[in-house]
Amino acid sequence: TEQTYYRWRREYGGMRIEQVKRLKELEKENIRLKRLVADLSLDNDILKEASRGNS
C-alpha cells in the first residue's frame, strides 16, 4: 500500500542496501538478547526464591 511505502521510505530512505541489511540483523540480535535477559532474570528470581526457602 501507499502508506507502507512511505513508512518504509521514512525509515530506510537514506540508507544503502547493506546498511538496511545490517540494521535488520541488529534488530533481530537485539530481540534475541532481550529474550535472553528476560530468561536469565526469571532464572535468577527462581533461584533467589529457592534459596530463601532453604534458609
Domain ranges, ordered by start, for the chain? 2-53
pLDDT for 21: 95
pLDDT for 55: 65
pLDDT for 53: 86
Give the tens place of pLDDT for each residue, 5-55: 999 888 888 899 999 999 999 999 999 999 999 999 999 999 999 999 876
CA angle 5, 33, 8 (to 5 degrees): 5
pLDDT for 11: 86
Half-sphere exposure of 8 (CA within 13 A, CB side): 8
- Alpha carbon 38 to its chain centroid, in Å, reads 11
